[in-house]
Structure 1
Amino acid sequence: MATAAIGALLGLFGPAQAQDKVINLKISLWVPPAHPLVPATQAWAADLEKASGGTIKATVFPSEQLGKAFDHYDMARDGIADVTYVNPGYQPGRFPIIAAGQLPFVFGDGKKGTQALDEWYRKYAPVEMKDTKVCFSFIHDPGSLHGKKKIVVPADLSGVKVRPAQSTIAEMVKLMGGTNVQASAPESRDALERGVADEIAFPWGSLFLFGIDKVVKYHIDAPLYTTVFTYNVNLNTYNSMSPAQKKVFDEHCTPEWAAKVSDPWTDFEANGRVKMRSLSGHEVYKLTDDQLAQWKKAVAPLYASWAEAVKKAGGNPEQIEADLQAAIRKHGAGI
C-alpha cells in the first residue's frame, strides 16, 4: 500500500507523466534541411520528447512547407504551426524593441551576442510579442555586404539595388541612396541572378547554402550587422499543456537552449567567412579605420529612428538601450 502511495505521489510530481495527453507539435522553419538550424531544432525536439516522457512529440517542417518566411510570426499566433522560426525584421516597424539588436555594429560575436540578446529580450518579449509565447531569441554570426560591385564607403551604395537582411538594413540602404529589393533568404539568389538586386546583406556560410556565392564577387570583411530571431509558440498549444508538460517545455526555452540551437549555425557562418577568403574569383576585403568611421557616422541616424519607433510603441528607448548595452558588456558581445 505504501509503495502504491509513493508511486501515486511520483506520478503527481514527476516531469511529464504517462497520463498526460500526448501533444504533437508542428515546428515550422523556413530554411532548407541542410541549414544547421534544422538538425539543431530536431535535437531540441527529441530532447523535449524524452524529458516529457514521450508526451510532447514534434515534427520539424523546413523549407517553408507550412508557410512563407515572412508569415511565421502570424503562423504561430494563428496556430498554423505550434512553434515557428521568426525573423522580426521581415516585418518593418512591427517589433521595434527587438530591432535594437539588428542595428549596425552592435554585436561582434554570434555566440556571445545570442546570450546577451536572449537575456535582454526576456524582459520585453511578453510585451512586444504578447500574442505568442517567445521560447528564446538569438542572432546569427555577424553578416556583411556581398555583391557584384565593390562597396567600400557608404557613398558607394548610391543608386545600388540591395536585398537587405532585415528592416534596419533596409533603412540604412535608403539612407545611403540605394534601392531596396525585398526577398526572403530562399528567394535571394534568383533576385541577384536576374539583376533585380546588385548587393545582398547576408551571413557568410549561408552564401554557400543558398547558392549566392555563384552570383556575387565582392565581400566586406566587417561585422556590419546581425539579424535577430525568435522561436515563437502558439498560446493555445502552450496553455493546453499540463503543468508538468509546461515545466518541461519551459526548461527547453532557456538561454542554454538558445545557445544549443543557434551555436552550430554560428560556427557554420563563421566557417563560411574562412572558406570565402580561400576562394579564387572572390575578393574579401577589410575596411580601413577611416572607412569604418564613415560607416559608423552614416548609420548614426538609424539609432534615432529606432528610438522614435520605440517611443511610438509606448516604450522607453533609453532604458531599453541601457539594458541591452549592460547585457552586451556582461557577455563581452560588443565590437
Structure 2
Amino acid sequence: MKALSKIAAASVFAATTAIGAMSATAADTTLTISSWGPPTHGINSKMWPKFTEMVEQATDGRVTTDLKLNLAPPPAQFDMIQDGAADLSIIFHGYQPGRFTAQKLIELPGYEGSAEAASVADWRAYEKYLQQADEHRGVKLIALHTHGPAQVYTINPVESLDQINGLKLRVPGGVGSDVGTALGATGIQVPAPKVYETLASKAADGVVMPMESRKGFKLTEVAPYTYEMPGGFYRGSFAFIMNEDAFNSLPPDVQKALEENVFGEPLSRAIGQIWDEIDAEGRQATMDTAGNKIVEASDADKAAYKPIADEVTAKVIEEVAATGVDAQAAHDFIAETMRTYGN
C-alpha cells in the first residue's frame, strides 16, 4: 500500500485535532475525515460540518463523521484515502501537477460568476465531459468545487500589472502556476498552510490566492497589499473524495440516500456557497486591518491581461484535449453554465 507506513508514523507526531462532529445520538457508522489547514479555516470550521450535517440528515443519523487534522500534508491526501488510512478528505488538484489535467478547465481566468456557480458548473461539466479522463480513479469522487477569484497579495505595494514581472510569488500549481509564469513571476510552490511562514521569512515577495486567505491564513499580517484583477487571475479547484471500500461497506439504502441527497451537485453547491461566504469574510478582514490596502487593476491593466489570459486558456484547452476530452466544448459549457447560473 502506498506510503501507509510513512503516514502512520507521521500521524504519531502530527498535531491531530478532532473537531466535534459526532451526532447527538449514537450512529451506526463514523467516517474518519482527514483534512488540513488550521481548524479555524472555512474548510474545517464550515465545509466539513456542513457535509456532516447533510450526511446525518440524509441517513437519519445512521452515519456521522470524525474530523482529524494534519494526519498528512495536503499533497498526500489522495493516496491516503486510496490506501484506506482515512475515509474522506479534500484535495487541491494543483498540488499534484499532471495528475488532474482536465480539472484545469474550471481554473481558467475569464469566467463570470461566484464560487457556487463555478462549483456547480464543474460538477455538471464532469458528468457531461470530464469524467472520461478518469483522473480520480482509485477513490470515490463525491464533490467538486472551486475557490473564488484569486488575486495577488504582496509584502510591498503592487499597483500595476507590469510590477508583477520579476516578483517571486508563491503559486499553487495548476492554472495558477501557468498564469504566474505568463506574468513573468518566478513561481514558488508550497502548500497553503506554509504560505504564512513563506511570506514571514520573505522567501517570496507575495502569493496568488483567493480572498478568503486574507483571514483563513492570516495574510493580512504578512502581505498587506492586494492587487485585484476583476474576475481574478484564476480560480483553484478542489475535490471531496472517499475511500471506495468505505463507501461499499455501507448498507445499500444508506449508499442510495447519500448518492441522491448529498454526493455530487448538492454537496458541490453547498461547498461553493460556503466559499463565497469565506471570501467575503477575507475581504472584510482586509478592509478592517490597519495598513492593508486593495488596489484594483486599471482599465489599461485589464486590457493588458486579456491576451495573457487568452493565451493561457488556449494552452490549457490544448492540454486537456490531449486527454481525449472535448475540451473546447467543456470550456464553453462551463462558461455558459456560470453565466446563466441562477437565472
* TM-score class normalised by the smaller sequence: 0.7 to 0.9
1:231 alignment counterpart:
240
Say if 1:30 and 1:92 are closer, same or farther in 2 by CA, change over 3 A.
same
1:258 alignment counterpart:
268
1:75 alignment counterpart:
80
Superposed counterparts of 1:124-139, under 5 Å: 124-125=130-131, 127-139=134-146
Larger Rg: 1
Say if 1:154 and 1:94 are closer, same or farther in 2 by CA, change over 3 A.
farther
| Contact 1:141–1:270 (8 Å) recurs in 2 | no
Q: How many Å separate the matches in 2 of 1:107 and 1:183?
A: 28
1:220 alignment counterpart:
227
C-alpha deviations, 1:294-331, integer Å up to 9, x for none?
A: 11212322112212221332222122212222322331
| Contact 2:116–2:270 (8 Å) recurs in 1 | no
1:87 alignment counterpart:
92
Q: How many Å separate the matches in 2 of 1:313 and 1:112?
A: 25
Amino acid at match of 2:182: L
Q: How many Å separate the matches in 2 of 1:284 and 1:311?
A: 37
Q: How many Å separate the matches in 1 of 2:187 and 2:248?
A: 40
| Contact 1:37–1:262 (8 Å) recurs in 2 | no
Q: How many Å separate the matches in 2 of 1:48 and 1:173?
A: 39
Task: Give the alignment's TM-score, normalised by structure 2.
Answer: 0.83
Superposed displacement of residue 193, structure 1: 1.1
Say if 1:249 and 1:171 are closer, same or farther in 2 by CA, change over 3 A.
same
C-alpha deviations, 1:138-182, integer Å up to 9, x for none?
A: 122222100023334443222211011332111222222221111
1:211 aligns with 2:218: yes
| Contact 1:136–1:254 (8 Å) recurs in 2 | yes
1:323 aligns with 2:330: no
Q: How many Å separate the matches in 2 of 1:59 and 1:69?
A: 18
1:116 alignment counterpart:
121
| Contact 2:149–2:235 (8 Å) recurs in 1 | yes
Aligned residues: 311
Amino acid at match of 2:276: T
2:175 alignment counterpart:
168
2:283 alignment counterpart:
273
Name the SS of the counterpart of 1:136 in structure 2.
Answer: strand
Superposed counterparts of 1:1-335, under 5 Å: 22-40=28-46, 41-62=48-69, 64=70, 66-123=71-128, 124-125=130-131, 127-222=134-229, 223-224=231-232, 225-250=234-259, 251-331=261-341
Q: How many Å separate the matches in 1 of 2:139 and 2:58?
A: 23
| Contact 2:172–2:189 (8 Å) recurs in 1 | no
Q: How many Å separate the matches in 1 of 2:60 and 2:292?
A: 51
| Contact 2:155–2:205 (8 Å) recurs in 1 | yes
1:7 alignment counterpart:
none
Amino acid at match of 1:42: P
Task: Give the alignment's TM-score, normalised by structure 1.
Answer: 0.85
Deviates more, 1:178-187 or 1:214-223: 214-223
| Contact 2:59–2:254 (8 Å) recurs in 1 | yes
Say if 1:125 and 1:53 are closer, same or farther in 2 by CA, change over 3 A.
same
Q: How many Å separate the matches in 1 of 2:183 and 2:43?
A: 33
Name the SS of the counterpart of 2:235 in structure 1.
Answer: coil
Percent of matched pairs sharing the same residue: 23
Name the SS of the counterpart of 2:212 in structure 1.
Answer: helix
Name the SS of the counterpart of 1:150 in structure 2.
Answer: coil
C-alpha deviations, 1:96-146, integer Å up to 9, x for none?
A: 111111112324422222222232223324623232221111122222100
Gaps of 5+ in 1: 1-20
Amino acid at match of 2:200: E
Amino acid at match of 1:109: S
C-alpha deviations, 1:50-92, integer Å up to 9, x for none?
A: 4324432321123x2x211112222222222211101111112
Say if 1:142 and 1:316 are closer, same or farther in 2 by CA, change over 3 A.
same
* Aligned CA-pair RMSD: 2.2
